[in-house]
Structure 1
Amino acid sequence: MGWDRQIRRLMLALALTCALGWLFKAHCAPGGWTGSEQYSTGCYSDAVPFWTGRGVAGGEIPYFQTRLEYPVLTGALIWVEGGITRALFGASANAMHFLFIVTLFNALLAGLVLWLLRRAGMEDRRLWAWALAPPLVLYVGHNWDLLAIAFTVAAMLLARSSRTVAAAATAGLGLAAKLYPVLMLPLLGLGVLFGSSDPWLKRLRLATLLSLAAIGAWALANLPVAASAFTNWSEFYTFSSERSGTAASFWEIMGVQGWWATSTPDRNLYAALAFLAGAAGIIGLGWRQHRERLWILFTPLLAWFMLTNKVYSPQFDLWLYPMLLMTAPRLRPVALFVAAGTAAYFAEFWWFASMEQAWPYTVTPGHIALAAAIRAAAMLWLIWDALRLPPPEWLTREAPASTF
């Protein structure tokens, strides 16, 4: 397909979107966060506290010299970005410079996603919905989740091309950057074992290969670090299990509203049970529609995981958004999801501001609950659509040989 006029226009639009994202996060960084402006204006970014709080400014190596509550590949990306920041800006390097480099790398990852989707033959309106994505404005400078997103999109496209082993390996690398790509692996395995009419021996051999590919890719990234710095390497997993919840999660909303208060261990248990029950239902109900493309069910599985998880950080919306553009049969509920997610983002950060007696003063957890409820309704709508409607037409066409 090459770099024709359309892809150049799309990339230009994406660059402008990411530039808006940079301005959205960077406008309050130069003078340091004062008067809770990181919450009042929504310009909070993990890059700013990480610059000094995780040793990035001093060049400390993640896991070996400093703790880090991210998986290994994300930690490696943070270290590389920190090194580039110090190399470019020298002794004057600060959190503002680091935020710029983080945003630049995320913009490049967003561009990679756009390029992959364009080469895979995604229809134009969905490509423009990524190039002009409101969630990118909010999150391109927020943290490092776009690395896992790029791996996940690539894994989905590999699965579409029937390159199942490569898809599993890519999902394994995504798991080394963030936890949620693991949800794709059972779908790939079930699709290989029960989604074709090949002889059983061939299916078992392929299932074994994709399992080894996923485990091997994850282990290649993780074992060297885990063997040398186990305590700091395991920080991500211990932090995730011990974290009580976030303001927009179902469990936290229930507790804050006084409807059902639960302890952290109980939330871990109930969230796992709710997810497993719903996941079984999603796979069971979606089997007839998507048996030959079971990987499509990754999108409703991810949405259900986000809804049932004890943590729903605002940037989780960016996990789901490109998956929806790829697989959602209709885009109207996607638009509702984006609108409600944007409202939830500002409701949550404005509530943080109000707790510090900063503008706006009147935001309450009730406002967060309302925005989260509308977003949850959109997500349930999207899950239902994914189970009962055929996938977008572009997914059912033969994948171009030049996708990768």
Structure 2
Amino acid sequence: MSSDTPSPHPPAPPAPVPPTLADPLARAGSEVLGGPAGRRLAGEGPWWARSLPVSVALASLVVALGALTKHHCRAQGWNSPDQFVHACYSDLPVVYTSSGLAAGLGPYAEGVSLGQPPVTAALAWLVGRAAPAQVSVEAQRAYFDAGSVVLLLAALAVVVAVRVSAGRRRGWDALLVAASPVLLLSALVSFDLVGVALAAAGAAAWARRRPVAAGLLLGLAVAARTYPALLLLAIVLLAVRTGRWRATATTLAAAAAAWLAVDLPFALARPGAWSAYLTAFGDQRAGYGSPWVLPQLVQQASGAPDAVGLPSGAVTALAVGSWVVWTVLVAVFVLWTPRRPRLAQVAFLLVAGFCALGTSFPVQASLWLLPLAALALPRWREHLLWWVAEGAYFGAVWLYIAGQSSPDRALPAELYALLLLVRLAALGWLVACVVRDARRPAADPVRAVRGLDDPSGGDFDRAPDALVVRVA
């Protein structure tokens, strides 16, 4: 056969990269299960041994185990201090019976105080249709069960979206979401995971170069949780770097249209109830998990009987000022680093700063970071350190809250402060690793794979630079 004759069989696509072949910690851990992956996990085996089915099955198991950790509250009711001592607290049943939804009222009706964006508020109301319209343990249990089904579906949607965003060769990175203790501990605490699912789906649509779908999904995500607006900002920053504005403008327009379509009717019909989740931000003291609560913890540790910490105005000013400074630093980094950062890296840096510097950093907010961390830093060692810190803080915060109604079962303020700092330090370590990988692409697990640039970057994948800022 002539060398010019095309082969009757096209070359096979590059094989996926199982973590046990590329990641030292995953490789060492695989010895317990028989050693590193072979051809079955490299894409040549049966369908059930590939990344997506394995990740979906594992995520289902993890969420089910998370539901088991709520068993005490599900059986006895969500009562203080038991719900904190047993670490089985969940917003779902508590808000249902305390907000007015249990009276059969709508999400923004008179007498209902949800303080949630429209998509989340509407979902909370819809789930309530599956529970008795009464304030009782039975109603709480029915509401929690129905909400758990919704959140399981949301968790699976996040896993699928991460698998799509990571691309075929890095598909096993979805395990960093599916196997995460963050998912186990926090998935059923609130409806945040629904907003995370919408944001992850929007990011997956962008990765597949579907700007309209990406914009619609991200607009709905902002209408469920406000943080996905930072994903849009990450797209804008990379558009400045690459000059790729057509898809970016389409996505922004679609996102604005989706957000207005959801929010505008509520804003016009019930402006006070609709804006409650926005106006409440400017009049609150430092919440759990925030660095701005540390002065109050120091006062408590020193024995002050009425420790109040920083005034609400100061907390708001510190949070907003810190966000502005952090956003400027990330923008400069995006335009300055020698090689364009990946989209997931930029989005992770923005959201991490938003979480760590905000007026509060509740345990469920770590779910916002989970898919972004898996895509930005698919290295198991760093995730393991973060998971340990999150798990320790998860137990600490509930015991600290329990002490407010049951001092004999309280966690001392100084120990809670220490674990709060450990959690922030672990997140800071992830940020430092992402910055390092962006500056040194050879250390980036994604770009270290031959032929990969930015699988989740969509229109920015392999794009040349249009603007690079040089800082002396």
TM-score with structure 2 setting the length: 0.76
Question: Relative to structure 2, which stretch is displaced further, 105-114 or 116-125?
Answer: 116-125
Q: How far, CA to CA, are the matches of 1:246 and 1:92 in structure 2?
A: 28
Partner residue, 1:74: 120
Question: Relative to structure 2, which stretch is displaced further, 375-384 or 7-16?
Answer: 7-16
Instruction: Indicate how the Cα distance of structure 1 residues 282 and 399 shifts in structure 2: closer, same or farther if over 3 A, else same.
Output: closer
Which amino acid is 2:426 matched to? A
Structure 2 contact 344–372 (Cα < 8 Å) conserved: no
Partner residue, 2:328: 280
3-state DSSP of counterpart to 2:70? helix
1:338 aligns with 2:387: yes
1:171 aligns with 2:218: yes
For 1:2-401, what aligned pairs fall within 5 Å after superposition? Answer: 4-6=47-49, 7-34=52-79, 36-65=81-110, 66-86=112-132, 94-119=139-164, 120-121=167-168, 123=170, 125-196=172-243, 203=245, 206-258=247-299, 261-287=309-335, 288=337, 291=340, 293-294=342-343, 296-357=345-406, 360-361=409-410, 363-389=411-437, 390=441, 391-393=444-446, 396=453
Instruction: Indicate how the Cα distance of structure 1 residues 129 and 332 shifts in structure 2: closer, same or farther if over 3 A, else same.
Output: same
Q: Percent identical across equivalent pairs?
A: 25
After TM superposition, give the deviation of residue 168 of structure 1 in Å: 3.3
Structure 2 contact 95–114 (Cα < 8 Å) conserved: no
Instruction: Indicate how the Cα distance of structure 1 residues 173 and 122 shifts in structure 2: closer, same or farther if over 3 A, else same.
Output: farther
Structure 1 contact 193–207 (Cα < 8 Å) conserved: no
Instruction: Indicate how the Cα distance of structure 1 residues 357 and 153 shifts in structure 2: closer, same or farther if over 3 A, else same.
Output: same
Q: What RMSD in Å do the two structures reach over aligned CA positions? A: 2.9
Q: How far, CA to CA, are the matches of 2:120 and 2:80 in structure 1?
A: 31
Structure 1 contact 64–228 (Cα < 8 Å) conserved: no
Instruction: Indicate how the Cα distance of structure 1 residues 122 and 224 shifts in structure 2: closer, same or farther if over 3 A, else same.
Output: farther
**C-alpha distance after superposition, 1:28-69 (max 9, x if no partner):** 233224561101110111112222212332321101342321
Q: How far, CA to CA, are the matches of 2:456 and 2:142 in structure 1?
A: 41
Question: Relative to structure 2, which stretch is displaced further, 66-75 or 24-33?
Answer: 24-33
Structure 2 contact 352–369 (Cα < 8 Å) conserved: yes
After TM superposition, give the deviation of residue 246 of structure 1 in Å: 1.4
Structure 1 contact 56–79 (Cα < 8 Å) conserved: yes
After TM superposition, give the deviation of residue 355 of structure 1 in Å: 2.6
Q: How far, CA to CA, are the matches of 1:307 and 1:15 in structure 2?
A: 29
3-state DSSP of counterpart to 2:105? coil
Instruction: Indicate how the Cα distance of structure 1 residues 136 and 75 shifts in structure 2: closer, same or farther if over 3 A, else same.
Output: same
Question: Relative to structure 2, which stretch is displaced further, 157-166 or 319-328?
Answer: 157-166
Which amino acid is 1:245 matched to? A
Structure 1 contact 251–310 (Cα < 8 Å) conserved: yes
Q: How far, CA to CA, are the matches of 2:169 and 2:316 in structure 1?
A: 38
Which amino acid is 2:453 matched to? T
Which amino acid is 1:209 matched to? T
Structure 1 contact 247–368 (Cα < 8 Å) conserved: no
Instruction: Indicate how the Cα distance of structure 1 residues 92 and 325 shifts in structure 2: closer, same or farther if over 3 A, else same.
Output: closer
Q: Which runs of 5+ in 1 are unaligned?
A: none
After TM superposition, give the deviation of residue 171 of structure 1 in Å: 1.9
After TM superposition, give the deviation of residue 134 of structure 1 in Å: 0.9
Q: How far, CA to CA, are the matches of 1:147 and 1:80 in structure 2?
A: 13
Instruction: Indicate how the Cα distance of structure 1 residues 272 and 400 shifts in structure 2: closer, same or farther if over 3 A, else same.
Output: closer
After TM superposition, give the deviation of residue 163 of structure 1 in Å: 3.5
Partner residue, 2:464: none
3-state DSSP of counterpart to 1:318? helix
Q: Which runs of 5+ in 2 are unaligned?
A: 1-42, 303-307, 459-472
**C-alpha distance after superposition, 1:143-163 (max 9, x if no partner):** 100111111212222333344
Instruction: Indicate how the Cα distance of structure 1 residues 112 and 33 shifts in structure 2: closer, same or farther if over 3 A, else same.
Output: closer
After TM superposition, give the deviation of residue 351 of structure 1 in Å: 1.2
